[in-house]
Amino acid sequence: MGKVTVFCIISGCTPESADNLSAYTEYYADSYEYEQDEDEEADKLNRDEVDDSRGKLGPLTLQAIRELAEEEEDINDVTAIGDFVKAPQQDPGGGIPKAEALEIPDSAITVLRHCKAGGDWEFGSVDGLGNSSYLVSFGVLIMVQDFALPILHLATRGRVTPQRLWRLAMHQGHSDLSGGGSSGLDDVDYGEINDEREQFPLPIPNMKCREVKELEKFGDVQKIKDGIAQRGGYWMWMRADRFPLGNIGEGSIPSFASPNVPPTSANASAVEKLPLELLHMIVLLGPLTSLLSLASTSRSMRSILFGSEDNCNTLAIAWITHNAPWFVPPTSDMESQDEMHKIQHAWTYLQRCCTSPSMRNRARIWKVAERIEDVAVQSGV
């Protein structure tokens, strides 16, 4: 029996991603020469030159990979959901029939958090407390990552409970391997991660080995980490609850703001004459790039939108609330109300969120959660 790779049915991620990144140097050594031979650009290289660094990553890149893997080591914290009484009674080779699984009442479905993708993970099982182990690749138990369940709750406003999620998985044949099984839910678009959910998923899927090696030229560990996470695609494997709240200081007004230039009534455009509340309502209907483009049309418009730090922060809070609720830091695992007011420099926070790989993944998973609810409704679950 080969290795079993289980993916969270909410996020589409695998809890083994940090371990895969830690082992990237082994993959790199095995794959570098192969890529050199396969890559058309490699034909342009002077093969007569001796390159002693082939198959080796630079020290800064190695440090960046090690730090990223350490920062994400708790990605293997998972939650098992299902009937833990019936689980030991099921056929270890085929689970239980779908019809029988669907007869299990919601009252029998429990949520066991803080499990680990540990010793038996390659066999499709997670570790519970003590020496307990639970099969989640099929059967009456499913697995989600700890950070993903609160996102499902928030994105669906509590309408998709763990019990409803479990029932949808059973409806799709998780109990007897007649459905998508460990790869996720059917008819759910997991976004950019769709094509990466394979038996041996690559931790840096969007970069070839030679491209990872070239990151050493940045000369800075943090820049290399950003390159691996963003351009390399590691962001889609990362925890999606690392809100960039630390050390948010002043200076959040965009550099192009002109606080001392009020609109001139004689020369003001029709848009500039709109009441501020109405103007805010209009700009909130578009993406952030449209807001910035509008602000750049004139000095008066810059002053109206970004004329003071209070203006910037008010607009940022409104934009997050209206367009990016996934950026709102939750007050607890299952609530997100009344937390934005604690962020004194909301514009800086918004800018950080837009460049954060964790928040990028959170936005993707939030949309997946909304799609899960749609599929549940369509399936009559």
Q: Give yes or no: residues 226 and 333 share one domain.
A: no
Q: Give yes or no: residues 216 and 131 share one domain.
A: yes
Domain count of the chain?
A: 2
The parent domain of residue 96 ranges over 1-242
Enumerate residues 6+ apart whose C-beta is below 8 A from 344: 248, 313
In contact, 74 and 48? CB cutoff 8 Å: no
Q: What is the pLDDT along the chain (381 residues), one digit of tens a residue?
A: 577 888 999 999 998 888 889 888 776 655 555 555 555 554 554 443 434 445 588 999 999 999 999 998 888 899 999 999 999 888 777 788 999 999 999 999 999 988 988 778 888 899 988 788 899 998 999 999 999 999 999 999 999 999 999 999 999 999 887 765 567 899 999 999 988 888 888 889 999 888 999 999 999 999 999 999 999 999 999 999 999 987 765 544 454 444 444 545 556 677 666 676 677 777 777 777 777 777 777 777 777 667 677 778 888 888 898 889 999 988 766 655 556 767 778 888 998 999 999 999 999 999 999 999 999 999 999
Q: Give yes or no: residues 257 and 281 share one domain.
A: yes
Q: Give yes or no: residues 210 and 318 share one domain.
A: no
Q: Does a structural domain hold residue 238?
A: yes
Q: Give yes or no: residues 27 and 164 share one domain.
A: yes
pTM (two decimals)? 0.84
Q: Give yes or no: residues 82 and 185 share one domain.
A: yes
Phi, psi at 127, each rounded to 5°? -90, 130
Q: Give yes or no: residues 153 and 192 share one domain.
A: yes
Q: Does a structural domain hold residue 19?
A: yes
Q: Does a structural domain hold residue 91?
A: yes
Q: Give yes or no: residues 311 and 205 share one domain.
A: no
3-class DSSP state for residue 77? strand
Enumerate residues 6+ apart whose C-beta is below 8 A from 143: 6, 8, 9, 15, 78, 79, 80, 81, 115, 126, 136
Domain boundary among 209, 242, 275: 242
Q: Give yes or no: residues 198 and 87 share one domain.
A: yes
Q: Give yes or no: residues 221 and 158 share one domain.
A: yes
Q: Give yes or no: residues 218 and 252 share one domain.
A: no
Q: Give yes or no: residues 252 and 346 share one domain.
A: yes
